[in-house]
Amino acid sequence: MEAGEQKDQNTTGDATNSEQQPFSKNKQKKLLKQQRFEAKKAEKKALMKEQKKKEGERKRKEWQDTLESLPEEERSKLIEARKGLRKERMEKRSEEKEKKIERLTRAKENGQKIVIDLEFSHLMSSNEINSLSQQIMYCYAVNGRSPTPAHLWLTGCSGGIGSQLQMLPGFDKWIIEKENGSYIEAFQGQKSNLVYLTADSETVLDILDCSKIYIIGGLVDRNRCKGITMKKAQEQEIQTAKLPIGNYLKMSSSQVLTVNQVIEILLKFLETRDWKESFFQVIPLRKRCETSSKADDGVAEEGDTDEKDEQDSKKRCVEVDAELPEKLDVLPKLTTDTQPL
């Protein structure tokens, strides 16, 4: 009995020591770097919020001072003029919303089907799941603005990512398909039309086929899960393909694109039918080396999300929709080559 108790104590001690075993120096550096980044990000967010508050107060005071400095008649005219501008702005927004709904409804009937596979949330941290939900919001925003939108599907909308998506403003009203199950279940009888986009594929995607259903891996993994989407596609015996980025430009050290960048590339191609133009409009300059017809294959993969890419996306992906709060509508859309997505 005593020997058994001693064995149990040793086992417990070994487990405790194993749990308390310190991280490697490399892991500690990565954790420290991530902590510094998160602290800096929180500090920057708080600073921007404070600046926005001060700017609002300044504008209100400026408006009040202007009114007080005018005679009653001119003051009334100015107030009415401002009301007129606000009404005009709301009417324009309403018109844009109607056009957007019309485009997305048409896409639902005959647009290119693109799936974001969300069955990887169990591999991600809460911060990574939050990053992915933000990317999906940008996907919906840019698709709504596109003159040739696709019909977007979210499959595997359960667990952590499902809860996070429900927190997005207006998510329940999005014109998008949401499935708790897998894309295999969602497209029963259409398995031959499924094409998983992954950098590990040997097949280069030459053109988008409207009869095909293209799948993008919704995974923010900080480069931990290499080749996971290719393995999944092979196990499910579905087709794979990679974007022909390597035919048009060389990528720098980071060859992985965010989910919203992949969506925007596909949407640009649907609009222009030109891969080169699509890549150069979307892929950030810092990720490019030089143009080349025999460059390295740099395609959208299940890999990392670049925090800088995510910040740039916030500047470009504007959701012009009355369903979303006004805060989401005021983000400027950048169109210069020096500040790409």
Q: Which of the residues are catalytic? A: 221
> How many Cα atoms within 13 Å fall on the side-chain side of residue 271?
18
Q: Which of 263, 190, 269, 201 is nearest to 234 (CA)?
A: 201
Report the C-alpha gap between 241 and 85 in whole angstroms.
49
The answer to whether 135 touches 310, Cβ cutoff 8 Å, is yes
Report the C-alpha gap between 305 and 128 in whole angstroms.
9
Beta bridge partners of 241: 197
End-to-end CA gap in the chain: 67
Q: Is 175 left (phi over 0), alpha (psi -120 to 50) or beta?
A: beta
User: DSSP letters along 177-218, please?
Assistant: EEESS-HHHHTTT-GGGEEEE-TT-S-B--S--TTSEEEEE-
Beta bridge partners of 216: 116, 197
Report the C-alpha gap between 289 and 252 in whole angstroms.
5
The Cβ of residue 272 has, within 10 Å, a number of other Cβ atoms equal to: 13
The answer to whether 244 touches 206, Cβ cutoff 8 Å, is yes
Phi, psi (rounded to 5 degrees) for 287: -95, 0
The Cβ of residue 287 has, within 10 Å, a number of other Cβ atoms equal to: 22
Report the C-alpha gap between 181 and 270 in whole angstroms.
28
Report the C-alpha gap between 188 and 106 in whole angstroms.
23
| C-alpha torsion 122→126→129→134, nearest 10 | 170
